[in-house]
């Protein structure tokens, strides 16, 4: 157990908010840039080499292994029927890790790939994230963090299977070789399958030394192996949290306050309880739970519950007002996140200066599968089924609410119908609420959030305001760059504040800005973190989701102000960044940067470094006369180190681009009088098929260790698009989402 | 009692006739391949076939399907043999997979009515189905591929 995990289990009240509506609090995530610093403190036993004997000493799996199954460690089980079960300690939410983790393991195990099955790990400290010290999925970190461990786990199993065969045959193990789950001794012609060796291998001690292949010998890593989960996702058999069914299970919805943070004053359940099938209507900490035999009965009953709410402190919140407040605040100095050279002096002495302000809204994650959680609460146990990204935290929170020790809480991680960060909730809001509902349901209960509940439920990507100034020399080169950021901290008040907030700066608020790759000699980035009663959390690409847009758009402004080609200026200022430079040049070449375009079409470029990966994109777009934007083509280049499964990398880039386009063109969560204005997909619109552009992805070949893939394609999308719009129309978009009203006249309006 | 045919089998349920078909299929009949996404016919995750036409089951009352034929993703084929399923696997379309039952059911009606759909046909038939993971480019490719597979099957 890591010290971080001990902390969460021992003192949940320090690390966990009480309800979905409480002030944002508490997490166990550590900003990636800080992991090296923090793992030294919290990550006792995180060294892979230290793990091996520990794992071997306590084989563990989520299902009882049959007597003869071979479970050399917590991550793989080989049965006499030749099936190989890989136990995945990270959740599958679309990012493909139920395929890439088995690929890592089987690169060394060398079992027959067709025999591989995947099972979700139970909650156990043995499954803790190698960098973050708790069991979780996020930070685009699954493959990078398991790159070594999963290969070691596979190698350990193979070595023991080979030893078992060698002992059986009385030959040296060094004379044996393996292929597709069969051990061969060439000289004697003997062979044995892994399944037949499982029992004998179980009797052996694990090897002290587990050497790994030279990457030149890889046969699986680097191949576009088809996803293992696809068949189950095209015939309806894949089981998401919403699909869980238990004997005697009832259904519940919760009426939550119309103003985030509101409380129930009074409740009249009489009419609701008349709905056929309605069972119980009772107040719980997050609102009023309505329990019924079926979802539909619960929904009808919820509409009949009469509740008087106390709107609380957020009753007057208005995002319109917040935009004005943020802008005002951005004109004052914030806490310094980064300072090099003499930004103020060089701005004052610049041949030309330009300034700009940018705004982005609150955003909901809007996973296609709305939040849900199934709980079977008994006197001495609590079993949970849900699609979560945050097992350790959820278990500690559920245990506290259930009044049980964490070891009495079992979490079954299902497939996630999208996550994007929402299912790693620092307060475990959707989990503890379901435990509270289970207390009144007196039966196993499935709590379902409707789309309206999900969109209005808070925990958004924060609103951000960015104020820039740049100074150019007489040749038009930027010599000074200042950037003031205003927005809520997602880490403030959490258990990990100490690791992520230094000198008043939440590193996740300034990522992508304070670590600017461009060679600008005088640089300052500062931050204001206003406290606002809207719960906020990470959202696909976290802080990069706003800095990618603002930094790369303003960089474009700087290039134009200095009379420079935006691509050429980037090239020049990335001279000391060989990996980003290579990505930039690749995308420009593939996109045909500088080549003529059809009339009215503009081309924009952007780069962004996040989750240790380098991404550049070129977008071609047209603006119609009515101001509507048509995105024709997106070209993306990525350096994510070694691509474990190139087709999955491409899929993640494609998906991130569509996700980024939705944020650029469509979505915002607004509040008036403390009430979220958006209800469903009619006013929180997603990009649809007819708006989806042609997307090309180019992966830079690399022998570096794998880096993040799930998030890094999101940040450059919005700026590449707004830069394309500028190229097409001469209009600079400085707030998202892009509005047709800001672009009336279209591409033809360009003088 | 309301009776209808679900994936070719006659079923009877005592749910209130105003109950949306989606919840009858999922909660009363236990077939969970059809998904809930919005409850307002905005996202297409609940798409099923009613007498061969694509409908959004989240807004279709049970009464509407009485004595009619409903097909869900579970009834598309018994063995992943439908050209759309084969194409979806070949191209590895799904990411999280939650919307894909609805995507495939919408695409199945398109292909039945139009054996060689153009990109524009695909835009029109598929724009009622949202995919938050952004698999649209692959859905498009897979529909074209499935059309080819179906043509190969017909000519063989």
Per-residue pLDDT at A50 exceeds 80: no
Taking Cα atoms as reference points, which of B28, B26, B35, B33 lies closest to residue B2?
Answer: B28
Same-domain check for residues B68 and B88: no
Of A236, A416, A694, the CB nearest to B33: A236
A47-127+136-159+222-231, which class in CATH?
alpha beta
Q: How is residue A291 written in tokens?
A: 């329990």
The pLDDT of residue A496 is: 73
Taking Cα atoms as reference points, which of B55, B13, B18, B143 lies closest to residue A692?
Answer: B143
pTM, full prediction: 0.94
Residues within 8 A of B (CB atoms), A 352-371 only? 366-370
Tell me the C-alpha distance between A73 and A160, whole Å.
11
pLDDT tier for residue A203 given thresholds of 50, 70 and 90: very high
CB B102 within 8 A of CB B45: yes
The pLDDT of residue A54 is: 35
Q: What is the mean pLDDT of residues A361-367?
A: 98
Q: Are strands A409-413 and A382-386 parallel, antiparallel or unpaired?
A: parallel
Superfamily of domain A241-312+377-456: Aldehyde oxidase/xanthine dehydrogenase, a/b hammerhead (3.90.1170.50)
Of B97, B124, B133, the CB nearest to A655: B133
Domain final position from B75, B108, B135: B75
Q: Most B CBs within 10 Å: which of A368, A446, A696, as the mutation test of the B interface?
A: A368
Q: Does B53 touch chain A (CB under 8 A)?
A: no
pLDDT in tens, A326-336: 999 999 999 99
Q: How is residue B8 written in tokens?
A: 């070719």
Q: What is the mean pLDDT of residues A625-639?
A: 97
Residues within 8 A of A (CB atoms), B 77-106 only? 77, 80, 84-85, 88-89, 92-101, 104
Tell me the C-alpha distance between A524 and A358, whole Å.
17
Same-domain check for residues B56 and B94: no
Same-domain check for residues B13 and B63: yes
The pLDDT of residue A67 is: 52
Q: In this complex, do B80 and A658 lie within 8 Å of one another by their Cβ atoms?
A: no
Taking Cα atoms as reference points, which of A652, A681, A461, A640 lies closest to residue A549?
Answer: A461
Give CATH for domain A319-362+460-749: 3.30.365.10
The pLDDT of residue A1 is: 59
Question: Closest approach of chain A CAs to the CA of B85, in angstroms?
Answer: 6
Per-residue pLDDT at A61 exceeds 50: no
Q: What percent of chain A has pLDDT over 70?
A: 90
Tell me the C-alpha distance between A472 and A459, whole Å.
40
Q: Using the 8-state DSSP alphabet, how is residue A308 labeled?
A: E
Same-domain check for residues B6 and B56: yes
Q: How is residue A677 written in tokens?
A: 């204005």
Same-domain check for residues B88 and B71: no
pLDDT tier for residue A499 given thresholds of 50, 70 and 90: confident
A333 CB neighbour count, 10 Å cutoff: 11
Same-domain check for residues B71 and B100: no
Same-domain check for residues B112 and B145: yes
Same-domain check for residues B64 and B47: yes
Same-domain check for residues B51 and B113: no
A294 CB neighbour count, 10 Å cutoff: 21
Q: What is the mean pLDDT of residues A73-97?
A: 98
User: With b meaning 16 or more CB within 10 Å and e meaning fewer, what string describes A515-546?
Assistant: ebbbebebbbbbbbbeebbbbbbbbbbbbbbb
Per-residue pLDDT at A62 exceeds 80: no
Domains A47-127+136-159+222-231 and A241-312+377-456 share a fold: no
Q: How is residue A547 written in tokens?
A: 């800095």
Q: What is the mean pLDDT of residues A355-370?
A: 98
Q: State which residue of chain B sits closest to A690, comparing Cα positions.
A: B123
The pLDDT of residue A56 is: 37
The pLDDT of residue A535 is: 96
Q: What percent of chain A has pLDDT over 90?
A: 89
Same-domain check for residues B88 and B145: yes
Contacts of B123 in chain A (CB under 8 A): 689-690
pLDDT tier for residue A281 given thresholds of 50, 70 and 90: very high
The pLDDT of residue A587 is: 98
CATH code assigned at B136: 1.10.150.120
Domain span at residue B29? Answer: 2-75
Question: Closest approach of chain A CAs to the CA of B123, in angstroms?
Answer: 5
Q: Which residue has the higher pLDDT, A94 or A495?
A: A94
Q: What is the mean pLDDT of residues A112-128?
A: 98
Q: In this complex, do A235 and B96 lie within 8 Å of one another by their Cβ atoms?
A: no
pLDDT tier for residue A748 given thresholds of 50, 70 and 90: low
**Dihedral (Cα; B28, B34, B37, B43), 10-degree rounding:** -140
Tell me the C-alpha distance between A42 and A48, whole Å.
15
What's the structural domain count of chain B? 2
Q: State which residue of chain A sits closest to B119, comparing Cα positions.
A: A690
**Dihedral (Cα; B25, A444, A429, A261), 10-degree rounding:** 90
Question: Closest approach of chain B CAs to the CA of A230, in angstroms?
Answer: 6
Beta bridge partners of A608: A615
Domain final position from B23, B58, B75: B75
Contacts of B138 in chain A (CB under 8 A): 651, 654
A345 CB neighbour count, 10 Å cutoff: 12
pLDDT in tens, A227-243: 999 999 999 999 999 99
Question: Closest approach of chain B CAs to the CA of A306, in angstroms?
Answer: 22
The pLDDT of residue A4 is: 64
Tell me the C-alpha distance between A527 and A544, whole Å.
15
pLDDT in tens, A685-701: 999 999 999 999 999 99
* CA atoms within 13 A of residue A425's CA, in its CB half-sphere: 32
Of A94, A242, A418, the CB nearest to B36: A242
Counting DSSP H helices and E strands in chain B, the numbers are: 5, 5
Same-domain check for residues B69 and B98: no
Domain final position from B56, B75, B94: B75
pLDDT tier for residue A42 given thresholds of 50, 70 and 90: very low
pLDDT in tens, B92-142: 999 999 999 999 999 999 999 999 999 999 999 999 999 999 999 999 999
The pLDDT of residue A9 is: 66
User: Cα–Cα–Cα angle for A47, A49, A51, nearest 5°?
Assistant: 70
Residues within 8 A of A (CB atoms), B 8-37 only? 15-16, 19-20, 23, 26-28, 30-37
* CA atoms within 13 A of residue A673's CA, in its CB half-sphere: 3
Counting DSSP H helices and E strands in chain A, the numbers are: 22, 29
Handedness of CA A388, A390, A396, A400 (dihedral sign): negative
Tell me the C-alpha distance between A460 and A556, whole Å.
28
A226 CB neighbour count, 10 Å cutoff: 17
Quick one: A352 exposed, middle or buried, by C-beta within 10 A (0-12, 13-18, 19+)?
A: middle
What is the rounded average pLDDT for all residues in chain A? Answer: 92
A746 CB neighbour count, 10 Å cutoff: 21
Rounded to a whole number, what is the distance in angstroms from the first to the last CA of chain A? 65
Domain ranges for chain A: 47-127+136-159+222-231, 241-312+377-456, 319-362+460-749
Phi, psi of A149 (to 5 degrees): -60, -50
Question: Closest approach of chain A CAs to the CA of B67, in angstroms?
Answer: 22
Taking Cα atoms as reference points, which of A71, A74, A108, A73 lies closest to residue A199?
Answer: A71
Taking Cα atoms as reference points, which of A390, A400, A286 lies closest to residue A11?
Answer: A400
A36 CB neighbour count, 10 Å cutoff: 10
pLDDT tier for residue A7 given thresholds of 50, 70 and 90: low
pLDDT in tens, B9-64: 999 999 999 999 999 999 999 999 999 999 999 999 999 999 999 999 999 999 99
Q: How is residue A643 written in tokens?
A: 């691509």
Same-domain check for residues B140 and B88: yes
With a cut of 0.95, is the ipTM above it?
A: yes
Q: In this complex, do A230 and B94 lie within 8 Å of one another by their Cβ atoms?
A: yes
CATH code assigned at B8: 3.10.20.30
pLDDT tier for residue A13 given thresholds of 50, 70 and 90: very low
Cβ neighbours of residue A681 under 8 Å, at least 6 residues apart? A451, B37, B38, B40, B42, B43, B130
pLDDT tier for residue A750 given thresholds of 50, 70 and 90: low
Residues within 8 A of B (CB atoms), A 235-254 only? 235-240, 242-243, 245, 251
Per-residue pLDDT at A38 exceeds 80: no
Tell me the C-alpha distance between A123 and A131, whole Å.
17
Tell me the C-alpha distance between A627 and B148, whole Å.
38
E strand map for B7-102: 9-13, 47-50, 53-56, 69-71
Q: What is the mean pLDDT of residues A259-268?
A: 97
The pLDDT of residue A745 is: 83
**Dihedral (Cα; A209, A214, A217, A223), 10-degree rounding:** 100
């Amino acid at each position: 157990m890591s010290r971080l995990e001990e902390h969460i289990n021992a003192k949940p009240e320090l690390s966990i908010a009480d309800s979905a509506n409480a002030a944002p609090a508490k997490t166990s995530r550590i900003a990636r840039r800080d992991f090296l610093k923090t793992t030294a403190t919290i990550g006792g036993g995180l060294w892979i080499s230290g793990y091996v004997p520990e794992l071997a000493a306590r084989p563990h799996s989520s299902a009882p292994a049959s007597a003869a199954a071979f479970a050399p460690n917590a991550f793989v089980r080989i049965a006499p029927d030749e099936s190989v079960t890989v136990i995945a300690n990270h959740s599958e939410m679309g990012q493909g890790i139920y395929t890439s983790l088995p690929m890592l393991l089987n690169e060394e195990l060398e079992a027959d790939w067709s025999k591989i099955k995947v099972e979700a790990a139970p909650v156990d400290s043995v499954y803790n994230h190698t960098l973050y010290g708790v069991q979780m999925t996020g930070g685009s970190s699954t493959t990078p963090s398991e790159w070594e461990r999963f290969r070691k786990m596979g190698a350990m199993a193979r070595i023991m299977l080979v030893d078992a065969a060698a002992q059986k045959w009385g030959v040296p193990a060094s004379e044996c070789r393996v292929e597709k789950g069969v051990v061969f001794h060439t000289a004697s012609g003997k062979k044995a399958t892994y399944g037949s060796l499982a029992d004998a291998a179980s009797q052996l001690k694990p090897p002290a030394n587990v050497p790994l292949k030279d990457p030149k010998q890889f046969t699986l890593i680097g191949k576009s192996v088809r996803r293992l989960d696809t068949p189950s996702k095209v015939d309806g058999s894949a089981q998401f949290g919403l699909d869980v069914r238990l004997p005697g299970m009832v259904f519940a919805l919760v009426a939550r306050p119309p103003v985030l943070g509101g409380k129930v004053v009074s409740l009249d359940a009489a009419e609701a309880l008349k709905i056929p099938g309605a069972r119980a209507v009772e107040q719980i900490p997050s609102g009023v739970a309505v329990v019924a035999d079926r979802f539909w009965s619960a929904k009808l009953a919820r509409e009949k519950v009469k509740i008087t709410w106390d709107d609380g402190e957020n009753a007057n919140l208005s995002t319109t007002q917040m935009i004005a407040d943020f802008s005002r605040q951005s004109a004052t100095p914030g806490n310094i996140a980064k300072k090099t050279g003499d930004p103020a002096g060089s701005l004052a002495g610049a041949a030309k200066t330009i300034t700009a302000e940018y705004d982005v809204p609150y955003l909901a994650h809007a996973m296609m599968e709305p939040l849900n959680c199934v709980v079977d609460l008994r006197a001495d146990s609590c079993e949970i089924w849900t699609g979560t990204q945050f097992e350790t935290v959820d278990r500690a929170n559920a245990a506290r609410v259930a009044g049980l020790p964490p070891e009495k809480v079992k979490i079954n991680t299902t497939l996630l119908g999208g996550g994007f960060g929402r299912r790693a909730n620092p307060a475990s809001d959707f989990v503890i609420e379901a435990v509270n509902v289970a207390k009144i349901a007196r039966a196993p209960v499935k709590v379902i959030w409707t789309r309206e509940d999900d969109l209005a439920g808070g925990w958004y990507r924060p609103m951000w305001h960015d104020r820039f100034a740049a100074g150019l020399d007489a040749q038009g080169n930027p010599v000074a760059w200042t950037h003031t950021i205003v927005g809520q901290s997602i880490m403030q008040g959490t258990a990990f504040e100490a690791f992520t907030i230094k000198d008043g700066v939440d590193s996740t608020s300034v990522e992508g800005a304070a670590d600017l790759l461009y060679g600008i000699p005088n640089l300052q980035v500062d931050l204001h973190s206003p406290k606002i009663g809207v719960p906020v959390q990470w959202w696909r690409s976290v802080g990069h989701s706003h800095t990618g847009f603002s930094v790369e758009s303003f960089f474009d402004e700087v290039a134009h102000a200095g009379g420079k080609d935006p691509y050429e200026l980037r090239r020049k200022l990335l001279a000391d960044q060989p990996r980003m430079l290579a990505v930039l040049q690749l995308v420009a070449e593939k996109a045909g940067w500088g080549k003529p375009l059809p009339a009215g079409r503009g081309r924009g470029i952007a780069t962004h470094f996040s989750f240790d990966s380098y991404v550049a994109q070129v977008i071609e777009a047209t603006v119609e006369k009515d101001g509507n934007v048509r995105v024709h083509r997106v070209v993306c280049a990525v350096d994510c180190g070694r691509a474990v499964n190139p087709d999955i990398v491409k899929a993640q880039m494609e998906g991130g681009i569509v996700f980024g386009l939705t944020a650029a063109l469509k979505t915002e969560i607004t509040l008036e009088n403390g009430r979220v204005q958006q209800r469903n997909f009619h006013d929180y619109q997603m990009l649809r098929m007819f708006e989806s552009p042609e997307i090309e992805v180019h992966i830079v070949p690399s022998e570096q260790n794998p880096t993040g893939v799930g998030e890094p394609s999101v940040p450059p999308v919005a700026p590449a698009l707004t830069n394309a719009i500028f190229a097409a129309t001469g209009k600079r978009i400085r707030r998202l989402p892009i509005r047709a009203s800001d672009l009336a006249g279209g591409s033809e309006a360009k003088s | 009692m309301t009776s209808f045919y679900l994936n070719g089998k006659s079923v009877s349920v005592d749910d209130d006739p105003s109950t949306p078909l989606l919840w009858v299929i999922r909660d009363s009949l236990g077939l969970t391949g059809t998904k809930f996404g919005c409850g307002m016919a905005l996202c297409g995750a609940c798409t099923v076939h009613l007498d061969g036409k694509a409908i959004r089951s989240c807004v279709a009352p049970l009464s509407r399907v009485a004595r009619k034929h409903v097909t869900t993703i579970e009834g598309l084929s018994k063995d992943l043999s439908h050209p759309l399923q084969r194409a979806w696997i070949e191209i590895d379309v799904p990411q999280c997979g939650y919307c894909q039952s609805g995507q495939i059911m919408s695409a199945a009606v398109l292909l039945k009515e139009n054996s060689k759909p153009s990109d524009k046909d695909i835009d029109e038939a598929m724009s009622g189905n949202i995919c938050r993971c952004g698999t649209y480019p692959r859905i498009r490719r897979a529909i074209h591929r499935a059309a080819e597979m179906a043509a190969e099957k017909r000519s063989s």
